[in-house]
Amino acid sequence: MMGPGYGYMMGGYGWIGTLLMFVFGALVIAGIVVLVVWAVRSVGDHSERGEGSRHAATDTPDAAIAIARRRLASGEITGEQYDEIMRTLGSR
């Protein structure tokens, strides 16, 4: 038979072992929940930002002209480069 002080749960570790097992189980479940939430949010972010159709907005000449104007205004390209882009797009 088991002697005094030999706990029923956790093979003799008593209430401390039971408490540790409970905390460890809760941490594992919390970790799984965090991973699922992270995965769902990361998939949702890509669809909301339109990652799959990112270049679809630049397929129209109006969008390309707007981008060229923005780049000229911000100093990314020179006036000559802007004129070249406009000639290429057939806008000038």
The residue ranges of every structural domain in the chain are 9-49, 54-92
Residues 45-56: tens digit of each pLDDT: 665 555 444 555
Residues 6-26: tens digit of each pLDDT: 555 555 678 888 899 999 999
Residues 55-85: tens digit of each pLDDT: 555 567 788 889 999 999 999 999 999 999 9
Question: Which residue reads 């799984």 in tokens?
Answer: 32
Task: Indicate the SS3 state at residue 49.
Answer: helix
pTM value is 0.39
- Length of the chain in terms of residues written: 92
CA 18 from centre of chain: 37
